[in-house]
Amino acid sequence: MHRADSRRHGRRNPLVTAAVASLALACSATVLAQGKGPGGYPQKPIRFLVPFAPGGTTDLLARLVAQRMGEELGQALVVDNRGGAGGTIAAELVARAPGDGYTLKMNHQGMTFNATLYPKLTFDTAKAFAAIGQLGITPNVLVLNNALPAKSLPELIALAKKTEITFGSGGMGSSAHLAVELFMLASGVKMVHVPYKGAGPALADTISGQVQMMIATLPAAAGFIRAGKLRPIGMSGLKRSPAFPDIPTLSETGIVKYQYDTWYGVFGPAALPRPMVNWLNATLNRVLAEPAMRQRLADTGLEVETSTPEALQRTVVEDIARWGKVIREARIRIE
């Protein structure tokens, strides 16, 4: 009778309480091991859009990160390359996607150029996306086809003043396009632009000689430089890259204070709930903190610099203003 009264008054058997606590702890550990987030997310594979063709830096970084994030989340991040129109095709797909976390994209700062380059966009770049987190930044490198008779920046500038030189890029208004536009403004030379649907095809044609030069991101060009398939003559940053300490900066070799580095980040649609954004940010930053991952990224030339969602969003807004001014001054138009 006394035992029944104790149960009715809410007293619990210590052994039962301990068993329930152990079960709850085990369930919690299982969920964490599977990488489940708010509401059990994700419960199916995640579409991971890359707004450029395979072979470029954005594609390379997306595939490295997708593999590890998929393992952490317990669901695959399926890379989907949707190149064309300077990345706006993929961007529109993300902007229109539901905020359920199953459509994300990897992008570089070129998305901020498009706010000015494409005045008829169906979305507002500053408001259409939920910034999740930054991976880091890469310097760019000016590379030449090996047959071009120029071994240094002064020789390239002298040659460009005497003969027509073509340069490739990932498309009109792409980061590689604007990098060379800035180079031409700073050096006083003119070159002929040949746009491609992504940096990968542009690099391939620079190697083959269809075009003669390119300013490419270091991760995309690194393997070709090491293999002797491209001739590097200058880095775009204000300091040399630890991955290629023998390559001087463009500033060192004649174009004073020329600087053009590229950041990379992960984004979702603006409707993505804040708890999900924070969960994905924590997962991304955890993956990027792994020594093995950091080394793989460093080998490509990426300097890992993670961020909060808020910091990446501020960068987007600031770069829309900064590059909008550059584009207007250079009179770059997308026909």
Closest CA to 111 of 96, 103, 102, 121: 121
56/194 same-domain check: no
* Residues 46 and 133 both lie in one domain: yes
Residue 2 lies in a domain: no
Domain boundary among 216, 235, 254: 235
Whole-angstrom Cα distance, residue 182 to residue 142? 12
Residue 224 forms part of a structural domain: yes
CATH label of the domain that carries residue 174: 3.40.190.10
pLDDT per residue as tens, the chain (335 positions): 443 443 334 444 444 444 444 434 333 333 333 457 899 999 999 999 999 888 888 999 999 999 999 999 999 999 999 988 888 999 999 999 999 999 999 999 999 999 999 989 999 999 999 999 999 998 899 999 999 999 999 999 999 999 999 999 988 888 888 899 889 988 989 999 999 988 889 999 999 999 999 999 888 899 999 999 999 999 998 889 888 999 999 999 888 778 888 899 999 999 999 999 999 999 999 999 999 999 999 887 888 999 999 999 999 999 999 889 888 887 887 86
Which residues, including other chains, have CB under 8 Å from residue 88's CB and lie 6 or more apart?
Answer: 51, 114, 118, 121
User: Structurally, how many domains does the chain consist of?
Assistant: 2
Whether 71 is covered by a domain: the verdict is: yes
Can you give the residue range of the structural domain that contains 171? 139-235
Residues 225 and 163 in one domain: yes
Residue 291 included in any domain: yes
CATH code (residue 117): 3.40.190.150
* pTM of this structure: 0.75
Cα–Cα nearest to 69, from 334, 279, 317? 279
